[in-house]
Amino acid sequence: MCTNIPDHLLLVMIRTLMVDTDKDLKKEVLNHLLRQTNIESQIILDNMNELLGGLFHTLESDNSNREIASMCLINIAAKDKGHTYIFSYLQKNHAKNNSESLVIISKMIEYINKEASQVANAILMLLCNLTREKNYAYIIFQSFDEPFKTLELLMKLFIMRDLKEEKNYDYISYLLSNLCQLHDVRIWLMDSGSFPKLLSFLNHNSSIRRAGVIMTIKNCCFELDRHLWLLSEDLDLLSRLLLPLAGPEQFDDEDNENLPLDLQYLPEDKERESDPNLRLAILQALTQLCAKKDSREIIRNQGTYLILRELHKWEPNMDLKLACENIVDILIKTEDEIGTDNFHELNVPEELIPKFKQMDEAYLS
């Protein structure tokens, strides 16, 4: 369908959204606007506040067109300055008692819980787009009516086993990973009993669920005080992180004995995680877990070096090869050679930073 709509007609369409008109007509208007918000349009930019007003009005008042209104907002949020436009509009028109809290956000959570699952999916995608940056994730989290009860609801929907509906809640994993940029959310996830429930999704068929959970775990690894818990035998996180990095390579009996049970005698058709971004996220999580001496010793004793050695041989991506090599360099050193309990307490002289950067660039070139 043609996207070249005359400016005056496009402006009429934008203003139609605020009118409670025939729902089929509004659906047709929204379909046109969905295409227009996906391209560069000066008339859209010039009338952004009016468009956002109409889309959020539709989101609140028209359940039959709630999904497509959300998709239009997703397009806007994905553009340069899209977040700025949306949050500026919301803070002027939907702020609760002159605070940063936004009334519309708690309504969106209700729609996720009560509306048709395809509507929930669209709203979750919108919330994922709106929470990519930490400062906006904080505003969204503070806008939940009861923040931690809302997290409980999201976890319940995410782990549901109704296969007909499950795919429509995939994006909860991305929303959780974005919210886990916040310290309070990370601590809640680990203290509430919710964190272990995510681990089974590390090898899930859905790439969306798998990616969101990996990113969530990576963010939780920034909590240094929880590293020993994360590496505890009861949780078994380390072997679950290493399994997607392991391939079909066969080890001798002696090496296998140094590996966790789940990593021993893997089949010859074992495949590694195919997405390089997810392999990198796992390596970044492992790097964080290597920050302190006690954690490094656990990681060494679980045969991590063997898995990373074979990954390094196989890895086609040079950035990932370097990330892998950096962890191996830590693991093959003695603690006396490392000389610090906590890498985060090391102060690297500023004059050495450019030199290290040049060394990395030389390795990658």
Q: What does the pLDDT look like over 50-82, one tens digit per residue? A: 999 999 999 999 999 999 999 999 999 998 899
Per-residue pLDDT band at 346 (split at 50, 70, 90): low
Per-residue pLDDT band at 341 (split at 50, 70, 90): confident
Which is higher by pLDDT, 167 or 103?
103
Distance between CA 303 and CA 160 in Å, rounded?
34
Taking the C-alpha atoms of 203, 207, 213 and 214 in order, what is their torsion angle to the nearest 10 degrees? 80
Q: Does the pLDDT at position 118 exceed 90?
A: no
Average per-residue pLDDT for the chain: 90
Give 285-304 pLDDT, tens digit per residue: 999 999 999 999 999 999 99
Nearest to 284 by CA among 229, 220, 209: 220
- Residues whose CB falls within 8 Å of the CB of residue 232, separated by 6 or more in sequence, listed in order: none
- Cα distances (angstroms) measured from residue 129 to each of 38, 137, 173, 335: 15, 10, 13, 42
Give 79-111 pLDDT, tens digit per residue: 889 999 999 999 999 887 766 778 999 999 999
CA angle 211–217–219, rounded 5-degree value: 105
Q: Does the pLDDT at position 1 exceed 50?
A: no
CB-count exposure of residue 204 (10 Å: 0-12, 13-18, 19+): middle
Provide mean pLDDT across the span 40-50: 92
Q: What is the pLDDT of residue 348?
A: 47
Give 17-37 pLDDT, tens digit per residue: 998 888 999 999 999 999 999
Nearest to 100 by CA among 84, 112, 88, 110: 88
Q: What is the pLDDT of residue 190?
A: 98
Q: Which domains does the chain have, with CATH numbers?
A: 1-93 (no CATH), 105-220 (1.25.10.10), 250-365 (no CATH)
Q: What is the pLDDT of residue 218?
A: 98
Q: How far is the first Cα of the chain from the last one, in angstroms, to the nearest whole number?
A: 46
Q: What is the pLDDT of residue 349?
A: 46
Distance between CA 290 and CA 295 in Å, rounded?
6
Q: What is the pLDDT of residue 40?
A: 83
Q: What is the pLDDT of residue 353?
A: 44
If you count DSSP H runs as helices and E runs as strands, how many of each does the chain have, helices first?
24, 0
Q: Which range among 195-199, 209-213, 360-364 shows the weakest confidence by mean pLDDT?
A: 360-364
Provide mean pLDDT across the span 221-250: 96
Per-residue pLDDT band at 164 (split at 50, 70, 90): low
**Contact present, 203 and 243 (Cβ < 8 Å):** yes
| Radius of gyration from C-alpha coordinates of the chain | 24
Give 239-282 pLDDT, tens digit per residue: 999 999 999 999 999 999 999 999 999 999 999 999 999 999 99
Neighbouring-strand partners of residue 342: 292
Per-residue pLDDT band at 160 (split at 50, 70, 90): confident
